[in-house]
Amino acid sequence: MHAGSSTVGPVSPSTHPCPERTRMTDGDAARVPGVLLLVEDDPDHAFLVRRGLVDHGGLGLVVVHLSTASDATERVAQGDVRCVLLDLSLPDASGMEALHALRAADASVPIVVLTGLDSNAMGIQALQVGAQDYLVKGQHAPDAVARAVLFAMERAQRQEAERRQAQLGSTLQLREVQLSEAQRLARLGSWEWDVLTGEVLWSDELQRLTGLSDVSGVEAFDRYLALVAEEDRGEAGALFSIEAAEDSPVVVRHRLVLRSGSTRWIQGHMTAAGWDEDGNPVRVLGTMQDITEQKSTEDLLAHQALHDTLTGLVNREVLLDRLARVLAAPREDRSLVAVVFLDVDRFKWVNDSRSHATGDRLLVGVARALERALRPTDTLARFGGDEFVVLCERVRDEEDVLDIVARLATVIEEPVAVEGDHDDDLAGVTVTASMGVATARPGDPVDPEELVRDADIAMYRAKERGRARFEVFDEGMRERATARLRIQSELNAALQTDVLKVHFQPVVHPGTGIVLGSEALVRWHHPERGVLAPEEFIPHAEETGLIVPLGAAVLRTACQVTAQWNAARLEPLNVAVNLSARQLADPQLTQVVGEALGASGLPSHLLCLEVTETVVMEDADASSRVLEQLRSLGVSVAIDDFGTGYSSLAYLLSLPVDLLKVDRSFVAAVDDGGPGEAIVTAVLALARTLGLGVIAEGVETLAQREALARLGLRHAQGWLWGRAVEPHAADWAWTTGPAGGVPPLLVDLPSSRPPWPDEGTPVRNGRRGERR
């Protein structure tokens, strides 16, 4: 307690004529049952009032005396004051100031004014501010003062109860509004059934959900079930069944057909919430939630789990499941089950050279075309990428299988058409497919996965034999497939080691034998099988995509080695490097070539990139764009194996190429004026007319060398002058004499420039001048 205060217990009043001046601690306040605070600055009057209150004995409060408004306000804030007896004339406050301060400290504490100011106006004002009563000193006996305190506390308690009741009512009303809004947002309606009275209460949201109103009895259940889809009605009836409630909860998904004609998916939930003494349900609660959007999402996810998202076809899991069921059910007619594994030829070329979006549209078009060729009982699945698998049930015999394959081949080779596509990148695109076929009879002990794998193996055999064809599986294919997988695995490991090495074969002047350049060729130094030629592993590298990093490594090495040789030579050598279809379709190819030239320091005009006719013509427009980008670096481009592919004069006029390499098959036929000589003569004449250089490859005999020299050919390569060797064994790279010890035919030495035409030959579209 503050100075100038005193405390008197409720039972044993103090008889001392002067007030105690002790401070009450928080611990003291916590131990007393309640405080009657007497705020009076006259100690004598305070003593008399306190004595009268204690003698009354009915208050059950501890009387605490304080003499200032500030001390009283601080004391009220402690929270244990039940009532205040307040004088309005205090040392630090007069009039209504103290009353205002106490009300601000705790408005719930009742205040009885006991003052010497006998003024009706002052009394009215005090009551308006919040006092419970207004007493004038000397006009009221102690009992009257005590009764005023009791009545003030009772009125305060009653007012507080009314306030809390009103607040509770507002809170309940708010909760009802919040619940209704939550149900609306969740599209969740609720209902309650009093089984004994038959009364049924439906929430507002349930009425909005169903469109039913005036719902009051069990007939509401019949009205609801009338809206349920007929095939769901029997199961939904359990939601309103007393028998079902005994084993509750009950959850039923069903469709509701609204009066508007729309159908909504509803999840109903029912549970018993009250029972009689025999354990029978007497109160049942239920909810109905609109889950239409949720059901649509679930259906979509279920569909996506079983179907390809791009084409809409079933996926691998579905096809294997159907195949397993077909194989497990023997048929009396002993008909066959056929699996056709189909791979779109050159799809990666389209995907990489045009765009992935174009590739996607192509796959959709292929899927729609294949669907048109199939029977209703067949199943078409997409396994990923450009692979499709067809399951054919009830196939009579092998001839029936071949008819199906023929129809598939026919529709897939037609121009691709996708609904909604017009003048896009697919215009005029045609594709072919390689297919593998494997068959079995239902009831035979065949594993579905193995049957699909056999068809896959047969498909790869079709690709190996030239694509755009089909193969029927046999056991020999399995052995070859196992070998192929082994090579691919070993090749992948070889890329991480130093067993793939670049060899160089000299390119010479056929008359003198002087080395003008070389061709870089990769060899695999296999730890068990020895040195492997490119044809033994390059197709596998192409198939797996390993050809891209392998080709980049060959290119870097070829440029680096040639630049090192040229640093020690007076006349520089040029070098030719082969590009595969995968490399030509790689969007990073131009950057890779530029980086190889930059890192090695090799002048770009000394690098020649070779591509075959077949690779170029897979997509002539895309090839032309890539070759133009490469030639913009200053390198030259050669058509390898010329005469074995399309050999179209039209593409020679349009493609940005500099050189033609005459295929070895024609060179082998030039002996003694054979038919090969006529072809080589024609190629030379064509090249001179178009401003192209010519190289003959595969020269193996002196007779071939003499024939080529006589025809005026200035560049050739072949075993006659040397096989491809590693750089340290290429002695021809740092000598000036004829390569391979072959004596020269002519005495004049040729220029060591790359083998493109002389300056006096025609130049197509000014390209050669631009390059130089």
E strands, 141-279, are 188-194, 199-202, 250-257, 263-275
- What amino acid occupies position 468? A
Interatomic CA distance for residues 366 and 382, integer angstroms? 11
Tell how strand 500-508 and strand 515-526 pair up: antiparallel
Output the pTM of the full model. Answer: 0.49
Interatomic CA distance for residues 33 and 31, integer angstroms? 7
Interatomic CA distance for residues 457 and 474, integer angstroms? 9
Work out the end-to-end distance of the chain between its first and last CA atoms, rounded to an integer number of angstroms: 107
Tell how strand 379-384 and strand 387-395 pair up: antiparallel
**Residue pair 4/21 in contact by the 8 Å Cβ criterion:** yes
Residue 692 C-beta-side C-alpha neighbours within 13 Å: 26
**Residue pair 743/723 in contact by the 8 Å Cβ criterion:** no
Of the candidates 689, 697, 592, the one whose C-alpha atom is nearest the C-alpha of residue 638 is 697
Q: Note whether 6-162 and 491-765 share their fold.
A: no
**Tens of pLDDT, residues 346-381:** 887 777 767 788 888 889 999 999 999 998 999 999
Q: In this structure, what token pair is assigned to residue 451?
A: 């049957």
Distance of CA 588 to the CA centre of its chain: 25
Interatomic CA distance for residues 80 and 637, integer angstroms? 101
Q: Where are the domains of the chain?
A: 6-162, 187-297, 307-473, 491-765
Interatomic CA distance for residues 622 and 287, integer angstroms? 63
Classify residue 164 by burial, with Cβ atoms within 10 Å: 0-12, 13-18, 19+: exposed
Report angle CA 741, 744, 749 to the nearest 5 degrees: 115
Task: List phi, psi (to 5°) of 481.
Answer: -65, -40
pLDDT along the chain (772 residues), means of 10: 47 35 40 78 86 73 89 89 90 87 89 86 87 86 84 82 68 53 62 87 84 79 91 90 83 90 90 84 88 86 88 94 89 83 86 78 91 92 93 86 89 71 60 91 87 92 85 74 75 82 94 93 88 83 84 94 93 94 89 95 96 80 88 93 66 83 85 74 86 91 89 91 93 85 64 45 39 30
The H helix count followed by the E strand count for the chain is 28, 27
pLDDT at 645: 60
For 439, the enclosing helix (H) or strand (E) is strand 433-440
**Tens of pLDDT, residues 141-197:** 888 888 888 888 888 888 777 777 766 665 555 555 545 555 455 568 888 888 888
| Architecture per CATH, 187-297 | 2-Layer Sandwich (3.30)
Specify which residues 433 forms β-bridges with. 344
Q: How many residues are listed for the chain in this entry?
A: 772
Query: Which CATH code is given to the segment(s) 491-765?
Result: 3.20.20.450
Distance of CA 560 to the CA centre of its chain: 42
The yes or no reply on domain 6-162 and CATH 3.40.50.2300 is: yes
**Residue pair 536/488 in contact by the 8 Å Cβ criterion:** no
pLDDT at 1: 41
Interatomic CA distance for residues 346 and 410, integer angstroms? 17
Specify which residues 515 forms β-bridges with. 508
Classify residue 49 by burial, with Cβ atoms within 10 Å: 0-12, 13-18, 19+: buried
Fold of the domain spanning 307-473: Alpha-Beta Plaits (3.30.70)
Q: Where on the phi/psi map is residue 770: left (φ > 0), alpha (ψ -120 to 50), or beta?
A: alpha
pLDDT at 593: 96
pLDDT at 641: 80
117: Cβ contacts below 8 Å, ≥ 6 apart: 88, 89, 136
Classify residue 689 by burial, with Cβ atoms within 10 Å: 0-12, 13-18, 19+: exposed
